[in-house]
Amino acid sequence: MSGFKNFILRGNLVELAVAVIMGTAFAAVVTAFTGMLLSAISKATGGKEPNFDTFAPGDVLVGPFLTALIAFLILAAVVYFFVVVPYTRAKDRYFPAEATGTPADVAVLEEIRDLLKARGGNV
């Protein structure tokens, strides 16, 4: 029983559960936003909802694929412009990347090398 308790209380499992819950909630928000955009497109095109489900050139039903593709592109744009871009800007602003340079351990080794050279040792 202690193995099960350790498994349940492991940090990664709890973090994963929180991520799934937050992802599900966020998916509902993005889906609603996508529906709102499709509704706006519908009003802009004279009341026709952008639904290609019956589109079948040459008797090949490609309409559902086109509808899903357009919904995916809208969803991807929403995620990119409202999540990824603000997150990247906030991360760069509040947690700037460290200046690139010589790592501390390499700098210490180079200092030791230079000291040995100054003492006349063969390096």
The pLDDT tens digits of the residues spanning 73-107 come to: 888 888 889 888 998 999 888 888 877 777 888 88
Residues 68 and 32 in one domain: no
Residues 40 and 65 in one domain: no
Say how many domains are in the chain: 2
Using alpha carbons, list the distances in angstroms from residue 56 to 61, 70, 103. Answer: 4, 16, 61
Is the pLDDT reported for residue 29 higher than 60?
yes
Of 31, 48, 65, which residue is a domain's last? 48
Report how far residue 63's alpha carbon sits from residue 30's, in angstroms, rounded to the nearest whole number. Answer: 22
Within 10 A of 36 (CB to CB), how many other CB atoms are there? 10
pLDDT at 113: 92
Is the pLDDT reported for residue 57 higher than 80?
yes
Residues 43 and 55 in one domain: no
Residues 2 and 39 in one domain: yes
How confident is the model over 13-41, as a mean pLDDT?
Answer: 82
The pLDDT tens digits of the residues spanning 60-77 come to: 888 888 888 887 888 888
Residues 12 and 72 in one domain: no
Residues 41 and 58 in one domain: no
Helix 11-44 and helix 2-9: axis angle, to 10°? 40
Of 33, 48, 63, which residue is a domain's last? 48
Q: What is the reported pTM? A: 0.52
Of 29, 48, 67, which residue is a domain's last? 48
Residues 61 and 7 in one domain: no
Residues 42 and 56 in one domain: no
- Least confident range from 24-28, 29-33, 36-40, 50-54: namely 50-54
Q: Which domain holds residue 71?
A: 51-123
